[in-house]
Amino acid sequence: MKAEKNFYKTLATIFVLFVLVCMIANPSKYIQVSLDGISAWAFNVLPSVLPFMFFTRLLSSLDIMPRLTAPFKHFSTTLFKTPPVSIYAFLMAILSGYPVGSKMVADLYLQGKITKQDAFKMSSFCSTSGPMFIVGAVGVGMFNSPKIGYILFISHILGAILNGLAFRNYKIKEETQDYEPPKEQKFDLSDLVTNSTLSILSVGCIITIFFIIIDCFTPLISFLPDGIEFFVKGLIEITKGCLDLSTLSNTSLATILASFVISFGGISTVLQSLTMLAKLKMPTKFFIFQKLLHATFSGLTTFLLVLIV
């Protein structure tokens, strides 16, 4: 165990030093890369995600959740074996995109509306992208095809549902279930604003960092065939990967690979989600496994839809 820990520390040190050397060797280039990352966050993520973060948190803090989620009681308990509120979180996640679903799961847990075990189950189907990105940005903007956008979106949602079914019987060990109902808190608008702002700023920081990382490592993977190179980039950062995949001549293959990339979310999005889920103390390996399984389900669904449609 100690040897394994030291190995990962050494690997992380080499990785960080490599990125620092790249930045020091060409500072003007990486200042521009950082600005590109900040611009991508400011013009694409901030306006679409921040309002959802604020209003979903506002809604979940009000005492109307039981009434809103009552119609979903039998659906959620039968399908996912989770409380009715999980369907509300799922719907908000697929409307707003990453990382709002993970933020909602964490908020519901901290507000005492779900248990830790519920949260672990819900993270399997509430960590999703949204139609603005999948249909709008990827389908229309990158592939120049609304049809591909809808295929990707349908596959993404079906993949999330299948992933939820896969984890419906998941149980955490009793000794790790450290959930305690919080004390009743008064509605605090300033706290909602502060919490939403800090969350979206952390997302911007992660996006910018991964723009730099991709640029540093691009020369190391440029020898790979285009499809593999673009796929690897997508596993690191979702937007850049999908953009490059859309240039492949084999549209069917590009669509399937893009579906996998979107549902996995890229390491950048995974870290954004883990940041939101931090207080759940969810093991990183567990969440990554959930995302890889979601990506596999979505990729297979896309493969079938491409054949049919």
What is the sign, positive or negative, of the torsion defined by CA atoms of 239, 217, 248, 163?
A: negative
Rg (CA), the chain: 20
Measured distance CA(103)–CA(126) in Å, rounded: 9
Q: Which residues of the chain have pLDDT under 50?
A: 175, 177
Report which residue type is found at 163: N
* CB contact at 8 A, 100 and 92: yes
Q: Please, are residues 76 and 112 in contact by the beta-carbon 8 Å criterion?
A: no
Angle (deg, nearest 10), helices 85-96 and 46-61: 170
In the prediction, which pLDDT does 179 show? 52
> What totals of helices (H) and strands (E) does the chain contain, helices first?
16, 0
Q: Are 138 and 149 in contact (CB under 8 A)?
A: yes
Cα pseudo-dihedral 151, 93, 272, 214, rounded to 10: 20
Give the pLDDT confidence score for residue 204 in this predicted structure.
84
Rounded Cα gap, residues 103 and 163, in angstroms: 19
The verdict on pTM exceeding 0.85 is no
3-state secondary structure of 22: helix
**pLDDT of the residue at 300:** 98
Distance (Å, rounded) from C-alpha 147 to C-alpha 136?
Answer: 11
Return the pLDDT at 185: 52
Q: Are 230 and 245 in contact (CB under 8 A)?
A: yes
Cα separation, 212 vs 22, in Å, equals: 9
* DSSP assignment string, 103-151: HHHHHHHHTTSS-HHHHHHHHHHH----HIIIIIIIIIIISS-HHHHHH
